[in-house]
Structure formats: structure tokens, C-alpha cells
Amino acid sequence: MGEIEKTDGEWERGQRTDDLAGPLLTGFAIGALLVGLVWWAVAMVTSDSDGAGSGQAGEAEIGAPLAAPGATPAAAPSRMDRCAAAARGLTGPLQLAQPAMDQWAVHVGAMNKLVVGEITLTQATAFWNQTRVGAHQRIQTFDRATARIERDGVDCPAPRLLGTGVPAAVRACSTQVEAEVHALDAARTAIATWRHHVADMEQLRLGKLSPTAATQMWLSMWQRGVSELDDYRAAAKAAQRGPGCDGEAGDAPAAAPSETPEPTHSMSSMH
């Protein structure tokens, strides 16, 4: 999926870091073997029955009703109006990214704890099975919310294009939109990896993917997930600290995945 673009060529195309995290942990061969066993366990679990979902609440909708025939055309929206509308349109997708990001964070966090011995294989398997439930629906809800933005772009001049003498409120709002675009793009990157892994788990469950191949793919996605989740957390926090479009803090999600409880031993009773 391409990154979010600004309309009229105003927004620079960002750069994405798809580099994987650093080398695997010392002694990871043992962890890889455990993961192979986990894949077998996960394959035995009945696939969650969540569907594609039909609700589309929270989708970004920017626009105004058509004027009545013969009516005097309305004045073109100002830069402030355009940026404020863009910020409002980004709020829904950013909020709807959170459920999928939280699931992916717990899924990756379980692996982090497993390889360093903080949780057992049984506990890790319980977390992985739990985070599969509803994953497809949450991902699709996010996809629907971002569809319009991906198609139409974001209509707000980038801060670098504003020049001098621009009102402080306009510059602040443009800066906020830029931060939220970066946060949404980071979420899309991380959720794309999660989407791929969810599909792999289903292929394994159906016998269309071998445990060996699935394990190799998971190890790659796990490390990528660690890096992409970190990128999203940083971008989401930057958007939260942004100036906003009304003199207040930004409208990014209230909680980034870093604030989501990681797997703990209290989950060991789940099967």
C-alpha cells in the first residue's frame, strides 16, 4: 500500500523503514524450536469466527453538501479550514488503528518474553491464540476507515509550503496534520505486517503452510513487528504532543501500544 499523499502535490512522500530489527537473541535456536511447537499448537485451535464486519463507524469523511441549483457558489475554503477538516478526517482512522495495534503489540510482546524465559511456551501460546480472536475484523475496520484518505489524500498545505507571514494558528494546524499523517502511515505499515501474519496463521491452520515455513516467516515478522511498533509509538506520541488545530493538544489516539499491558503471568490460566 502506498503512503498517504497530499492533494495537489503538496505533501512530500515519506520514507519508510522496512529494515528488520537487529540480530536474533543469543541462543535463539532454542526459541525457534519452541516457536515451531507453538505453530503446531496454534494450528489445532479453531479459527476465530469473526467476519469482515459491516460497521463503518469512524471512517473519515471530509466534504460539504452540494449547493442547491442556482445558489451562489460558496467561497473557497481557507487554508485554516482545509487543515482543520484534514485533522478531523484523520482522527477516526487513528482511533480505529488502536485495537489492531494493541493486538499486534501483545502478540509480539509474548514472543519477546518467551525468548528470554519470562513466560512459558504454554503462556505464550495462550496469548497468541487470544490475539487471533477478532484480528481480521479489527484490521478490516481500520482498512475501511483509511480507504477515503488513501484515495483522496489530505488537503492541507505542508508546513514547509506555508511561507512567511502565515497566522500562527494555520501553521500550528498544518504541523498537527503533518504529525498525524506520519502516525497514520506508521500504523498502516505495522498493521500491514500484522495482516500478513494473521493470513499466515490461517494458512497454517488449514494445512496450506508447513510449520517449518510458518516458523521462518514468523521470526521475520516478529522482528519487523518490534521495529514497526516502536516507529508507531514514537509517531503517535509526537502527534499527541502536537499543537492541535484549536490551540489544544492533538487528536491522536489517547494510548499508544507502548502503554498497552504486555503479557504477564496472570494470563497463564487461559487455554
Residue by residue, pLDDT tens for the chain (271 residues) are 455 555 443 444 333 434 433 443 434 434 544 444 444 444 444 444 444 443 443 333 333 343 455 555 556 678 899 999 999 999 999 999 999 999 999 999 999 999 999 999 999 999 999 998 999 999 999 999 999 888 888 999 999 999 888 899 999 999 999 999 999 999 999 999 999 999 999 999 899 999 999 999 999 999 999 999 999 999 999 999 999 997 555 555 544 554 444 554 433 322 2
Residue of 196, 189, 183 lying closest to 255 (CA atoms): 183
Q: Are 6 and 154 in contact (CB under 8 A)?
A: yes
Domain-located, residue 53: no
Tell me what pLDDT residue 53 has.
Answer: 40
Query: What pTM was computed for the model?
Result: 0.68
What is the end-to-end Cα distance of the chain in Å, rounded?
A: 36
Sign of CA dihedral 208, 214, 220, 224: positive
Q: Let me know if residue 110 belongs to a domain.
A: yes
Give the residue among 226, 220, 263 at the shortest CA–CA distance from 114: 263
What's the confidence (pLDDT) of residue 71?
A: 52
Q: What is the pLDDT of residue 43?
A: 43
Number of domains making up the chain: 1
Length of the chain: 271
In a domain, 236, yes or no: yes
Q: Is residue 270 one of the residues assigned to a domain?
A: yes
Residue with cell 452540494: 66
Residue 125 lies in a domain: yes
Domain membership flag for residue 111: yes
User: Is residue 93 in a domain?
Assistant: yes
pLDDT of 190 reads: 98
SS (H, E, C) 225-270: HHHHHHHHHHHHHHHHCCCCCCCCCCCCCCCCHHHCCCCCHHHHHC
- What integer pLDDT is reported at residue 144 of this predicted model? 94
- Kindly state whether residue 260 falls inside one of the protein's structural domains: yes
Print the domain residue range for 97.
80-149+170-271
Residue 151 has what pLDDT? 87
In the prediction, which pLDDT does 138 show? 96
